[in-house]
Amino acid sequence: MAKTDNKTESHLVLLNKKTGKVASTNNWLLVLAARAHTSGDTSGIAGLLPQEQAKKLLVSNELSTKVARRAKDGRLTDNISDQAVTLLPQLAVLFGDQHPIHKTITRENFCVWVTKQLADETSFASRNALHSGCEDLIYNTTGYKPRSARWWQDQIKKMQS
């Protein structure tokens, strides 16, 4: 990511010319190859990049600079992880209260339960998360989309290390 000033970070992406949205084949390697192709620098190390694939992509896509998503107080992903760490103890207590006694408590069961609870807008866990100020954890830029069970497992793993 290239720093444009102290507050914003930007990076190059491939945008679809018709829709203006980020191309589905966008990745850092193809963006580098497309940048090298458009600047005419296709020799040396840049010659090792997937130039042919970049040429094909530049027919229907264009290179553009995009500002990284950020929150007011830092990187959005860091804030979401912090919100998860804050909310996990409350969710663990709720899970313990609602989990059947005869079933074994595992991390996987807990993470699946958290995902289901936060996906249900009427659940106590979801309402509690919103009341606790964890909107970024539940909502993304396209609306209501809770994180996956695998994402929650990763957050627990981060807490342990």
Determine the Cα–Cα distance for residues 91 and 158; give it in Å rounded to an integer: 17
Q: Give the distance, in angstroms, between the CA of residue 34 and the centroid of all CA atoms in the same chain.
A: 24
107-128 mean pLDDT: 86
Q: Point out the least confidently predicted range of 43-52, 71-80, 111-120.
A: 71-80
Determine the Cα–Cα distance for residues 86 and 10; give it in Å rounded to an integer: 29
Residue 45 DSSP one-character state: G
Residue 161, pLDDT score: 54
Q: How many CA atoms lie within 13 A of 40 on its CB side?
A: 0
pTM over 0.85: no
- Residue/partner pairs of 92-100 with CB below 8 Å, 24 or more apart: 94/124, 94/125, 94/128
Q: Point out the least confidently predicted range of 8-12, 91-95, 143-147, 156-160.
A: 143-147
47-60 mean pLDDT: 83
* Residue appearing with tokens 């995902």: 115
